[in-house]
Structure 1
Amino acid sequence: MISEKLFQGYDEKFISNQTVPLPNLSTKQNDDLVLGEKGNKVIKYINYSLQQSASHKFPFYTATNIDGIQFKKVPRKDNWRKDTRLSQEFQWGKELYSAPKSDFDKGHMTKREDVQWGETPGIALNAANSTFYYTNAVPQHKNLNRDIWRSLEDYILHTETKRNELRICVFTGPVLSSSNPYFVTPINGKQIQIPSLFWKVVIFQKEDGNLYRVGFMMSQNKLLQENHIIEELESDDQLFMQFKDADTYQVNISLIEDITGIEIPKAIDSYTDTRNTKLVLEEIDIDPDLESDSIEYELGFCIKNIQL
């Protein structure tokens, strides 16, 4: 049992001499929040926090502090469970992930290793274990969760943050939209919508003392269709539907804000793209049948401008 005293959550003062607040939700999203035991809107864990949607039963986003200096290597213990501090009716659990045709992973929004740091290995282990709450999971196709998206996460943590001994803040989430496709298997007699799009924003400090940010987005729509996991939903939301065939790539932060309705903390954008959305998708779309030895090459193209 993890001590509640360790559940301090995301620290907005984590990067020295800077403040990186939590993202701002829209009025509609705020009205859809799941409240904690004391009526708190932000649910705190160890080294990360999240805000949970009551209607979708998935997080709007997770906010994570990553310390490249205090990272510890500890064993993995998969122990998925619902958070007893929240109403059970607003969390998906085994009923979703063990249902017929649930051929997807429990996709961590806050990566286990990202919070795997602290003054002692014990704290790091508890932090890693605290990522196995269902509130931190969203269904993800295994080909994305275990390959290209994981490669992006590993690049941010191991190649940049650990190597350069950085402190960074990372925001991650699904796009919770009425345009999302339906899961083919009803849960408790009700149809549910599976997020097609996921996004990630990294905020970091450069040697000039300023904060910078870079964003990424991916789509699993094509993979879910190929496995007959989803039923397509007709939609007039043209902006959302433009991303049907995308995979993982770098995007403007403003695009993430437009699609999610969430305001990302301000910082200098280290990447801007003036091409239209469809052109970007066509150029960096990754083949679902991409061989694993080609992933690193493709990922290098997608993140060529991050350079934390």
Structure 2
Amino acid sequence: MSGYEAGFLDVALGLPAAQQPVIQLDYTHFSVLLDPARRLAAATAVNIAGAELVDLARGNTWRLDKRIAEDQQAGPGLYSRNSLDRGHLVRRRDPVWGDDAKQANADSFTYTNAAPQAAEFNQGKELWVGLEDHVLEYANANQLRVSVFTGPVFRADDAVYRGIRIPRLFWKIAAWTVDIGEKPELRSAGFVLDQSPLLADIDLRQLTSGNPPPLGPFRCFQVPVERIAELTGLAIEQLMDADRYQPTPTAQPVGPHADWRELASRDDIVL
């Protein structure tokens, strides 16, 4: 399995560096940095060759990664008989390109690439799963090559369910290059998905592990990449320097931070 390639774009771009111990797991065209303490990925990274994407049937055969112990990954027991979705971190179709498309499709259904998410499909979720398509369309002049990094935000007060702390926030950073002058220039854009319950009086820390925590409708934000670094502790300086989103006082953003901009449609995205 080739895994994520740092030299995939015209500018070398390596994997994020995590503060906590992680296990790097390489799959076809993507890699997972697994946090064995949380039993979920701290970060994922995928190379997308938009011009080579292959349209394959979805399938739905999830499996554990046999290279690591079962107690280091959140498996089928977390998702059975409840309302939780196995949300792809690396979107299923993103690594499905080239001669290895079939293997990439199967690899995306490994539990290390899943995270518990609200099952209900709503506008915010539709925006989230379509972000890569929007960036690919924007990057059309650059051979449709994009690298995308995705993961959950781990918090100490995340509710425990069946031995797993359920993240409420997820982040995504898309990266591409443009030709500026004599050499290509890296560009990036950062996003956060919030599935926190909208009821402010719910104390997640007091919930028992017998029932899944309440999850709210997906809300999607564009945020400075620097904020993602602060939320996750990941070392992503190169992506921070390449950020295309520069919030202004007139943007009237909403969210947990003054510079988070809630997205209602693709037209709100700054690239």
TM-score where L is the length of structure 2: 0.83
Segment of structure 1 superposing worse, 206-215 or 164-173: 164-173
d(CA) in 1 for partners of 2:67, 2:134? 33
Structure 1 gaps, min length 5: 1-6, 34-40, 235-243, 287-297
More strand by share: 2
SS at match of 2:130: helix
RMSD: 2.8
SS in 1 for 2:78: helix
Q: What secondary structure sits across from 2:146 in the alignment?
A: strand
2:172 aligned with 1:200, yes or no? yes
Change (3 A) 1:95 1:163: farther
Q: How far is the alpha carbon of 1:148 from its aligned partner?
A: 2.6
Question: 1:10 matched to which residue of 2?
Answer: 4
In structure 2, what is the equivalent of residue 128 of structure 1?
105
Matching residue of 1:106? 86
Residue 250 of structure 1 and its aligned partner are, at CA, apart by: 0.7
CA distance in 2: counterparts of 1:133 and 1:161, whole angstroms: 29
Gaps of 5+ in 2: 207-215
1:34-49 equivalences in 2 (<5 Å): 41-49=23-31
Q: What letter corresponds to residue 110 of structure 2 in structure 1?
A: Y
2:193 paired with 1:215: no
Q: What is the match of residue 173 of structure 1?
A: 151
Q: SS of 2:265's equivalent? A: helix
Letter of the 1:23 counterpart: P
Mapped contact 1:49–1:63 kept (Cα < 8 A): yes
Which structure has more helix as a fraction of its residues?
Answer: 1
Partner of 2:209: none
Map 1:124-163 → 2, pairs under 5 A? 124-142=101-119, 143=121, 146-157=125-136, 159-161=137-139
Q: TM-score, normalised by structure 1?
A: 0.73
C-alpha offsets along residues 186-221 of structure 1, whole Å, 9 cap, x if unaligned?
x2xx4x321000000011101211111110011001
Number of residues of Structure 1 aligned to a counterpart in Structure 2 = 250
Identity %: 31
Change (3 A) 1:170 1:285: closer
Q: 1:14 to 1:284 in 2, by over 3 A?
A: closer
Counterparts of 1:51 and 1:275, CA distance in 2: 36
Structure 1 residue 62, shift from structure 2 partner: 0.3
Cα gap change, 1:213/1:232 in structure 2, threshold over 3 Å: closer, same or farther?
same
Say which of 258, 265, 268 aligns to 1:299.
265
CA contact (8 A) 2:222 2:261 kept: no
Asked whether the equivalents of residues 176 and 260 of structure 1 are also in contact (C-alpha less than 8 Å), the reply is yes
> 1:23: which partner in 2?
16
- Cα distance in 2 between the residues matched to 1:137 and 1:299: 25
Runs ≥4 in structure 1, deviation > 4 angstroms?
A: 161-164, 282-286
